[in-house]
Amino acid sequence: MKDGSMFATLVEYKDEAFFNSHNIIKFANLERTYEWEIFAVLITDPSYDYLQTEFTDEAQYLGFITAMQEKSLFKTDIKLSGTDDILILSTCTYEYDDARFVVAARRIL
């Protein structure tokens, strides 16, 4: 990451104008293309479990993604639900030791 070869463009989402004008991620596999709407970008340390994958129910899951949205550097009016599929992208960032930059999006297509 330090040399800019891995995920360097992901940190462009620290800029609010970039965030607002590039709020859709397209992700394709061999079968289809998916679209994801970004609902949060945040800087955090590794103690925050932004990669949690197991939840007791939809309410706990909704609490998890809503908390992520509340921690976001920029606010959106996206209404999340406990059935949303989400995509989490993360990379190192250098605001402080072991900082992580996280981009979170929900599938819309």
Categorize the per-residue pLDDT at 3 as very low, low, confident or very high, splitting at 50, 70 and 90: low
Q: What are the pLDDT digits (tens) for 90-99? A: 988 888 998 9
Q: Are 90 and 105 in contact (CB under 8 A)?
A: no
Nearest-angstrom CA–CA distance, 52 and 55: 8
List the Cα angle 87/85/23 in 5-degree steps: 50
Which domains are seen in the chain, by residue range? 8-107 (2.40.260.10)
Closest CA relative to residue 104, chosen from 63, 73, 69: 69
Task: Give the residue ranges of DSSP H helices in the chain.
Answer: 16-21, 58-71
For residue 105, which amino acid is it?
A
Q: What are the pLDDT digits (tens) for 20-77? A: 999 999 989 999 999 999 999 999 998 889 989 999 999 999 999 999 999 999 999 9
